[in-house]
Structure 1
């Protein structure tokens, strides 16, 4: 069992986002005929909107296929822009990037066919999303890249320099907590129980913690802000470089496992549509891996898959 002490600071962020409709009350009128006509018009407009929503761009020949990620992710945008510019035309499709605000919004847009896919999540995160939203219908179509992931510190130059009782941040969701624990085990700071699934491990699976590390659970946005107050942070390179933190603060970064590779996630309803089959083929094109290995727009943030 673990000997850690866990701190859960409040980030002040809302627990979720509400999605709904604004209902507007119709103006009262003395004219029955006018009211009936208005009702017919409203019903017709609603029917037309429903009809439009039933036809996804995924089903329309020549439609632009939108691939989404979270807003502000420049490296992921650069990747999708590259596919749209250099690869997609060879497969007879048009691809463009769009940034959306949060995980639920992204996945709902994919599930409902508003967009063709997303490239921001690994399989374990997708499993969490689907468990929390059983009405979503999505699946991982193909791995695309690996995120840079490592141990960051503003105070120490190597994992071995961490003092007894060091405060170390892990990401606050189960899937990415597991990757953080995998990283700490690779760094020689902890060991996990024998036989435990490394990709689903939790702090309860820690067998030894010789430095008596104290774990601080933070979300993605809070980790870079907390770097100066902690001994180390286990997190994604992209979050730190986006926050303007140099990679000289990265003190340990082994090759990330492909179990945490980012997946092109698609809506299950459209997986057999010609547009989506061509989209998957485009992201599997060898040119994508060459781009990830060589282009400075993604260097260190997005890594190619293992050969």
Structure 2
């Protein structure tokens, strides 16, 4: 073979080898894989249309911004979600305020933590029998939730309405034993929170949590007193909770960020145009 031709062939072979090597080293490098989708299961109370609107917006933000898929486990009463979270049946929950979580932790060994605030819902005193607090007759029966934190909140509402006085104040949980003055001799009927709206026909008035009031289609005309929203309301701000061992979980913090968004604010406004629910993660209470 002509030495010149041999050199050309060798040169071509070298070029081919270099090109193939470059292809496998660079040209055939796989494109960066999209981050794996993450699924987070959140415990919530049985859904109502308004809450569905809000969680739909949160789910969209979580998926679009963080590639997190939200799934939901629904519960029917307030005693269930924290136990399910502590047992690992859910990853997070979003149903309670700080006072409820504090009370649950004290009773169950401080297993859960708040990851971030969500909203606050001023609760109301409702009646189907009277139009104002002053119309409540002596000896009337008033229904309140029977779980520790919501009963306390309801009693403070009755105090703010001028119906009773309490021997405790501030963020101290109140019970019926703390009623120091009851000038109308009201009978306080303690019921599961889910039953307070149903009891309206058999009591003079009832302090009802907003989700149950909304589910019962109670109107603003049936509210005879609204809880004030001020610096004393901080304990009633709702939150997203996690197990203490997950306090620094990056994915769970991203779920909180997905909730604390402008899209969620817009959804809350759409779902509750009369401000029955108020975004609270940047709320300045005075």
Q: Give the TM-score of the pair, scaled to structure 2.
A: 0.75
Task: Give the gaps of 5 or more residues in structure 2.
Answer: 1-34
Distance (whole Å) between structure 2 residues aligned to residue 91 and residue 72 of structure 1: 24
RMSD of the alignment, in Å? Answer: 2.5
What is the CA distance between 1:179 and its match in structure 2? 0.6
For residues 103 and 177 of structure 1, the distance between their equivalents in structure 2, rounded to whole angstroms, comes to 12
Cα distance in 2 for partners of 1:178, 1:99 equals 25
Residue 150 of structure 1 pairs with residue 124 of structure 2: yes
Report the secondary structure of 2:54's partner residue.
helix
Matches within 5 A, 1:1-307: 61-86=36-61, 88-134=63-109, 137-193=111-167, 196-256=169-229, 257-292=233-268, 294-296=269-271, 300-305=275-280, 306-307=283-284
Report the CA distance between 1:182 and its aligned residue.
Answer: 1.1
The higher radius of gyration belongs to: 2
Change (3 A) 1:220 1:76: same
Cα distance change, pair 252–119 in 1 and its aligned pair in 2 (3 A) = same
- Give the secondary-structure state (helix, strand or coil) at the position aligned to 1:79: helix
Number of residue pairs the alignment of both structures matches: 245
Asked whether the 8 Å contact 2:53–2:271 carries over to 1, the reply is: no
**CA shift at 1:167, angstroms?**
1.1
CA contact (8 A) 1:151 1:251 kept: yes
The structure-2 alpha-carbon separation of the partners of 1:304 and 1:210, relative to structure 1 and needing over 3 Å to count, comes to same
1:68, distance to aligned residue in structure 2 (A): 2.1
1:92 CA drift (Å): 4.0
**Structure 1 residue 132, shift from structure 2 partner:** 4.1
Aligned equivalents of 1:108, 1:62: Cα separation in 2: 27
| Cα contact 2:38–2:67 (8 A) shared by 1 | no
In structure 1, the gaps of 5 or more residues are 1-59
2:120 and 2:278 in contact (8 A); partners too = yes
Whole-Å separation in 1 of the counterparts to 2:275 and 2:202: 24
Contact 1:142/1:263, CA 8 A, preserved across alignment: yes
**Could you say which residue in structure 1 is the equivalent of 2:25?**
none
Say whether the 8 Å CA contact 1:178–1:198 is kept in structure 2: no
Corresponding position of 2:19: none
What SS does the corresponding residue of 1:163 show, helix, strand or coil?
coil
Q: CA deviation at 1:300?
A: 4.9
CA distance in 2, matches of 1:216, 1:69: 26
Once residues 137 and 222 of structure 1 are traced to their aligned partners in structure 2, the CA distance between those partners, rounded to angstroms, is 28
Aligned equivalent of 2:7: none
Shift of 1:215: 0.8
Q: Rate the CA distance shift 1:284–1:300 in 2: closer, same or farther, 3 A.
A: closer
How far did 1:273 drift? Answer: 2.4
